[in-house]
């Protein structure tokens, strides 16, 4: 049995690691994905919050967000 906070209505959130966010954008564009670029504030530690470049895309009925970390 699994426990957690996700439901069938939760968005899909991915952590992507890349040398540059532009490389991720180019990869999606080359594969003809429609996406939106945005920034997400992510709590790294109790004292440190940082803005992370991100992309959002709809796939069918699901929303997928990818946070791009260095």
Could you read off the pLDDT of 18-49 as tens digits, one per residue? 999 999 999 999 999 999 999 999 998 999 99
Within a domain: residue 23?
yes
Q: Total domain count for the chain?
A: 1
Helix (H) or strand (E) segment spanning residue 25 = helix 21-30
C-alpha closest to that of 51 among 27, 26, 70 = 70
In a domain, 49, yes or no: yes
Give the range of the structural domain holding residue 42, as residue numbers without chain letter. 12-69
Asked if residues 64 and 58 have their Cβ atoms less than 8 Å apart, the reply is yes
| Cβ neighbourhood burial of 66 (10 Å; 0-12, 13-18, 19+) | buried
**Average confidence (pLDDT) over 39-60:** 92
Does residue 40 lie in a domain region?
yes
pTM of the predicted protein model: 0.78
Residue 19 counted as domain residue:
yes
């Amino acid at each position: 049995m699994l426990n957690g906070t996700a439901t069938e209505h939760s968005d899909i959130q991915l952590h992507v690691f890349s040398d540059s966010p532009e490389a991720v954008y180019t990869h999606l564009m080359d594969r003809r994905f429609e996406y939106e670029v945005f920034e997400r504030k992510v709590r790294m530690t109790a004292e440190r919050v940082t803005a992370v470049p991100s992309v959002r895309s709809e796939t069918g009925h699901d929303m997928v967000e990818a946070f791009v970390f260095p």
